[in-house]
Amino acid sequence: MTIRWGILATGGIAAKFTEDLALVPDAEIAAVGSRTATAAEAFARRYGIPRAHASWTALATDPSVDVVYVATPHAAHYPAAMACIEAGKPVLVEKPFTLDVPSARALVAAARDRGVFAMEAMWMRCVPGIRQLTGLLAEGAIGEVTTVRADFGLTGPFAATHRLRDPALGGGALLDLGIYPITLAHLALGAPETIQATAQLTPEGVDANTGLLFGYPSGALAALTCGLMGSTGGTAAVTGTDGRIDLPGPFHRPRHLVLRQRESVRTVAADFAGWGYHFEAAEVNRCLREGLLESPLVPLATTLEVLGVLDTVRAQLGVVYPSASAQTAGSQWP
């Protein structure tokens, strides 16, 4: 059973995902949609896609499309995904799922009401190296987890007009980069009991350099950073009572892990190819073939839980996305 994909948006992440779909043997691209015919047609020519649509609705209602990948800027995830869900189309929605928990809950409710598959494109959770990490933790390879450390920073500076500095587009380091360290901590320790956040904000009011300290009921801690002011090593480590697992940079798509136990050090190889997005596409295809409405690898409850952490961090930092509350009040993203 070949799964026929529709690509909603034509930016850089859409291009990488499209290229990676060639690595999924039971997938093909049936159509692309954008807000303009010019953008959709150019993308279709570039990748040999049969149909190009000049609106999200046209893509969502295309009978030749089985599932839609939503690759818009953050602030458009909610209306774009909702258009697809209301048309009865399964969706894979780029991370973060939406700008805040209320809009995410609305999407989840709509998908469940209509019996439509929905998944956040948190591709990190699907790559083999991270799946090996979670397997090692489940086996008790390092005992009880006591600390998680992770960093993700990009080299700036970014112009004031860049989307990463625009609050209306969900700018800042947190949603683009911080979601990865937070997801790693969640994989190892679940939801934090306490959250402490500090950041340097840009003149526009989004976070440019952010530090997070999470506390857990077990006494474990997570120390996480993300930023737009310098390229960090992008490394991570999960420490337990009986050892440590080191993830070399970039930790969210590792090609190997280093397992350090009391009496040994072992390198664990991890499969990787392309940009790494084909792993999540394969998971969506598997779920659709099996008639699942959500992925056990990227469950909707976890998406909501991590987004709740992001909301709490933003509230502590004083970062406000003006379009977030408006979306669930019924306004349309431009």
pLDDT tens figures, 191-246: 999 999 999 999 999 999 999 999 999 999 999 999 999 999 999 999 999 999 99
Asked if domains 3-123+277-298 and 128-269 share a fold, the reply is: no
Domain borders along the chain are 3-123+277-298, 128-269
Beta strand segments in 188-253, E: 194-201, 207-215, 221-227, 236-240, 243-247
44 Cβ partners below 8 Å, 6+ apart?
A: 32, 50, 51, 52
CA torsion angle for 93, 97, 98, 103 (degrees, to 10)? Answer: 100
pLDDT band at 330 (very low <50, low <70, confident <90, very high): very low
Rounded Cα gap, residues 127 and 118, in angstroms: 19
Q: What is the pLDDT of residues 90-130, one digit of tens each?
A: 999 999 999 999 999 999 999 999 999 999 999 999 999 99
> Could you give the angle at the alpha carbon of 97 between the alpha carbons of 197 and 192, nearest 5°?
35
What confidence score (pLDDT) does residue 323 get?
74
| Phi, psi torsion values for 243, nearest 5 degrees | 160, -165
Rounded Cα gap, residues 45 and 318, in angstroms: 43
What percent of the chain has a predicted confidence (pLDDT) above 90? 95
Tokens of 79: 């209306």
CA torsion angle for 12, 18, 20, 21 (degrees, to 10)? Answer: 160
Q: Across the beta sheet with 194-201, what order do the strands follow?
A: 194-201, 207-215, 221-227, 145-153, 236-240, 243-247, 256-261, 264-269
Q: What is the architecture of the domain spanning 128-269?
A: 2-Layer Sandwich (3.30)
Rounded Cα gap, residues 307 and 183, in angstroms: 10
What percent of the chain has a predicted confidence (pLDDT) above 70? 97
Q: What is the architecture of the domain spanning 3-123+277-298?
A: 3-Layer(aba) Sandwich (3.40)
Specify the pairing of strand 243-247 against strand 256-261: antiparallel
